[in-house]
Amino acid sequence: MTDIIADPAVYELLKEFAGGNVFADQAPDGQEAPFIVYNEVDFSTIKVLRGTSSGPVNAYFRIDAYERDPYAAKILGKKIRDKLDAFIGVVEHGENSPKDTVDIKGISFQNGASLTDQFEKPLLYRRTGVYLVKYQES
């Protein structure tokens, strides 16, 4: 049995955007825009007194959409928000047969911002959003 974490489900939900350039934690050096970076920034579980730690998990993910144009970054961020906000469902991932799954109980947009990132070159614009991902750990 595979440990259940939300990261693969988040990737599966995002991979249709930015030409599939979706990365956990950080993008490779020199990555051309557009691209998306996602990180789990916080999580909590509901404590169970019967000797098991499985159960509901609340995980916060920061999702950053990078583009070369500030308006394009906002549009990409909005497309991501439209896809994720209020999402509920089972997400399949991986190469196993049958595929591994994550049971998403709900995703909700929490807050966001528009930022400018100056790397060596080029100047990149970022639309960042924080999402609460509720899922079932088992």
The model's pLDDT over 41-59, given as tens digits with 9 standing for 90+, comes to: 998 876 666 655 567 889 9
What single string gives the DSSP state of each residue in 39-52?
A: EEEEEEE---SSS-
Residue appearing with tokens 């089972």: 90
Nearest to 43 by CA among 27, 59, 54, 29: 59
Across 117-122, average pLDDT:
68
Query: With 90 as the cut, is the pLDDT of residue 107 above it?
Result: yes
State what percent of residues in the chain have pLDDT above 70: 86
Residues in the chain: 138
Mean pLDDT of the chain: 89
Per-residue confidence (pLDDT) for residue 61, from 0 to 100: 97
The model's pLDDT over 56-78, given as tens digits with 9 standing for 90+, comes to: 889 999 999 999 999 999 999 99
Residue appearing with tokens 């049958």: 98
Cis peptide bond N-terminal to 8, omega within 30 = no
